Amino acid sequence: MRLGEMKSHEKAAAEELERDPVFRREWERTALAREVAVAIIAYRAAHKLSQRALADKLGTAAHRGVLVPDMANPGLHRRLGHPRRGAGGMGVGC
């Protein structure tokens, strides 16, 4: 299969969301985590930061800074630190 023949991520996800109610529920449940991940990646790219550099800026260990949180997980604060501290380190007010 050639690249041009492949479905885009958006089209594949839209088809699966339409077809599978279990997939749709999980997609909706994890929407915030995806948004956070995209924001972190965009911030790193805009500021030319490695994962380690971002972790240093946030005052956490690099291996913790790369975790994408499951927003339904009560251990979120233990894994990434308090959201206000992390957002403040990225220059985002809470």
**66, containing H or E segment:** none
Which pLDDT value is given to residue 17? 96
Between 91 and 2, where is the model more confident?
Answer: 2
Taking only the tens place, the pLDDT of each residue in 13-61 is: 999 999 999 999 999 999 998 888 889 889 999 999 988 888 888 887 7
83 pLDDT exceeds 50? no
For helices 21-29 and 9-19, the axis angle rounded to 10 degrees is 120
64 pLDDT exceeds 70? no
Outline where 30-75 has alpha helix (H).
Answer: 31-46, 51-58, 62-65
Which pLDDT value is given to residue 48? 94
Q: b or e along 77-90 (b: 16 or more beta carbons within 10 Å of the residue's beta carbon)?
A: eeebbeeeebeebe
Q: Give domain limits for the chain.
A: 8-89
For helices 21-29 and 31-46, the axis angle rounded to 10 degrees is 50
